[in-house]
Amino acid sequence: MTMSEPKGEALNLVVTNIKTETQAIRSITLAKDDDGCLPGWSAGAHIDIELPSGDRRSYSLMNTSAIEQIKQPKSYRIGVRLEEPSSGGSAFVHGLKTGDRVIASSPKNNFPLGSEKGEILLLAGGVGITPIMSMAAELKGRGSAFRLIYAGRARADLAFVQELEALLGARLEIHDDSTSGVLNIEAAVRSLSKDATLYVCGPVPMIDAAISAARALNWPDGQLRFEIFSKPTVVEGDKAFEVVLAKSGKRFQVQPDRSILDTLIDSGEELPHDCKRGDCGVCQVGVLEGLPEHRDYYLSEKERSANKLIQICVSRSKTPVLVLDM
């Protein structure tokens, strides 16, 4: 959870190793100056790295070794793809050199593994492999029944393949779109048993396809779990609207290119938030009047239909005024 000022332990870390994994992806290893232990973490966790602008970007922690090594780690490893154009985060990380220092948060986990006993499918697209590879290591350590499908536009675009092959062997399926066509997500979902669990991290179209397939099969909430690291973009036709905070009576104008959350923070309000992508639920607030335009990945279809809750980091308003229970 973050506020207008980061909460919890701020970690002053130094870059100890940089490795080019693909033309666009590099891995960065971070540690303390004194080589001391860092806060432990579990598969699916991420850290936030502070940018020179004061903004923060989230990056999943990676592991393909023994689970014990992430309980009292001496270093953190992240994998970052250079985005074109970059909104600041990937360009900053790709500009780091060995010996450079960064400020990071302690690990947080909005995408944890459950305790499922049935079949598990891990599905990753592109740099979405970073949390998924840690899940694979943990599941292997548990002795769980699982497999991993790792898809990308071309095999050369897929990072960490050799590590994954050494870790998983036959449990790993590499899908190269350039030779096999775009991965059929619906078919992958339909191939699973009724009590299976699917974990997905990758591009938004992959997430949307998995959600669509799960809904078509009437999967219950929790059977499909996913994480998105893509920032929301302005949608053509977005209009300004007014937000009213019921408890204080304060009124704010939300412009088409700003979120409710950022508008309130810019005005001095301190609000709990984390992902700013609509998939963690931390910034959720109640709606008292008005009609939300839901753009999150957190609420269930039933909750969306009720229009009593909103994720203010991404969702907007269909009505000129939206009154929030805050």
CB-count burial class (<10 Å; 0-12, 13-18, 19+) for 213: buried
Residue 166 DSSP symbol: H
C-alpha–C-alpha distance, residues 169 and 218, integer Å? 32
Lowest mean pLDDT among 132-146, 155-169, 173-187, 267-281: 267-281
pLDDT of residue 7: 46
> For the chain, how many structural domains are there in total?
3
**Could you tell me if residue 2 is inside a domain?**
no
Q: Tokens 């060995």 correspond to what residue? A: 98
The CATH number covering residue 78 comes to 2.40.30.10
Question: pLDDT tens for residues 126-141?
Answer: 999 999 999 999 999 9
Amino acid making up residue 183 = L
Q: Which domain holds residue 178?
A: 120-227
**Could you tell me if residue 45 is inside a domain?**
yes
Contact 133, 65 (CB under 8 A): no
**Could you tell me if residue 153 is inside a domain?**
yes
Query: For 39-51, b where at least 16 C-beta lie within 10 A, e where not — what string?
Result: bebbbbbbbbbbb
Contact 155, 172 (CB under 8 A): no
Quick one: pLDDT band at residue 87, thresholds 50, 70, 90?
low
pLDDT of residue 88: 78
Q: Of the candidates 323, 159, 292, which has an alpha carbon nearest to the alpha carbon of residue 313?
A: 292
Quick one: pLDDT band at residue 86, thresholds 50, 70, 90?
low
Residue where one domain finishes, among candidates 105, 133, 160: 105
**Could you tell me if residue 5 is inside a domain?**
no
Question: pLDDT tens for residues 211-264?
Answer: 999 989 999 888 999 988 666 677 888 999 999 999 999 999 999 999 999 999
pLDDT of residue 6: 39
